């Protein structure tokens, strides 16, 4: 009886050992970093620090060699700590520059504004123009428009008119003035009614006419 119990214990241990070995596999334990393989092993880049410099196109330069990192960069010298590039004092860009290129170490102006803009229109440098009958303007080399407004003389009449394309008013009927509500020409005496003769003041057209009473010519009754 004791023999059968001993054999049964041995059989049970064998079964437990096979189950344990089947349940635990190598995949249940993470491998060491040194043992892991990666699909990116072929993408290892060379480290040029302390050995050389690389430009934007991938070209390698030796220590002490002068090169341009990119098409718009200043020249550099390859050093142990990386490129040491020139920092020149670039000329200032013209304030009226309309096209700037960055193809070199310093930005370069390729096109300067050579016209003036005034009320939505463009004018050439030194071009003269009249935006209105009373304005005379010119496009200055500074791309600014300078204008002069005509100073009209005071018309010598009380009824001036504005002609098309003319800046200042004109007296179409010559100098005159008011005699009451009547406009009379200057330079002569005018009988404005049966009793009054008037004339304009010389040079003072804005003043009312000077009048003098004469003997009224009334109708005689029989």
The pLDDT value given to residue 10: 53
Higher pLDDT, 70 or 145: 145
CB of 183 within 8 A of CB of 159? yes
Tokens describing residue 112: 């300067």
| φ, ψ for residue 204, nearest 5 deg | -115, 65
Per-residue confidence band for 217, with pLDDT thresholds at 50, 70 and 90: low
Give the separation between CA 123 and CA 115, rounded to whole angstroms: 5
| Domains parsed from the chain with CATH numbers | 53-113 (no CATH), 117-149 (2.10.70), 155-217 (no CATH)
Tokens describing residue 61: 């330069």
The pLDDT value given to residue 58: 83
Per-residue confidence band for 54, with pLDDT thresholds at 50, 70 and 90: confident
- 29 pLDDT exceeds 60? no
Strand partners, 185: 176
Average pLDDT, the chain: 76
- Average pLDDT, stretch 87-111? 83
**Lowest-confidence segment of 5-19, 111-125, 176-190 by average pLDDT:** 5-19
The pLDDT value given to residue 43: 37
Tokens describing residue 147: 């204008």
Give the separation between CA 26 and CA 35, rounded to whole angstroms: 13
- 200 pLDDT exceeds 70? yes
Rounded alpha-carbon distances, angstroms, from residue 107 to 69, 97, 211: 16, 11, 81
Helix (H) or strand (E) holding 115: strand 115-118
- 135 pLDDT exceeds 50? yes
Q: Does the global pTM surpass 0.75?
A: no
Long-range pairs for 41-50: beta carbons < 8 A, 24 or more residues apart: 49/82, 50/80
């Amino acid at each position: 009886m004791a023999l059968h119990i001993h054999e049964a214990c041995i059989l049970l241990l064998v079964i437990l050992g096979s189950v344990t070995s089947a349940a635990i596999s190598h995949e249940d334990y993470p491998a060491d970093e040194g043992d892991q393989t990666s699909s990116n092993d072929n993408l290892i880049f060379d480290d040029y620090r302390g050995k050389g410099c690389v430009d934007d196109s991938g070209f390698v330069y030796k220590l002490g060699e002068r090169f341009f990192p990119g098409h718009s960069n200043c020249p550099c010298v390859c050093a142990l700590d990386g490129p040491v590039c020139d920092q020149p004092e670039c000329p200032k860009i013209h304030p009226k520059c309309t096209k700037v290129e960055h193809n070199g170490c310093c930005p370069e102006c390729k096109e300067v504004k050579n016209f003036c803009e005034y009320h939505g229109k463009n004018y050439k440098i030194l071009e003269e123009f009249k935006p209105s009958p009373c304005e005379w303007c010119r496009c200055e080399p500074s791309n600014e428009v300078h204008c002069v407004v005509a100073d009209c003389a005071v018309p010598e009449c009380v009824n001036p008119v504005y002609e098309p394309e003319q800046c200042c008013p004109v007296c179409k009927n010559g100098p005159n003035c008011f005699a009451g509500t009547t406009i009379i020409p200057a330079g002569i005496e005018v009988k404005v009614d049966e009793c009054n003769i008037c004339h304009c003041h010389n040079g003072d057209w804005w003043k009312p006419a000077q009048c003098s009473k004469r003997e009224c010519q009334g109708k005689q009754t029989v």
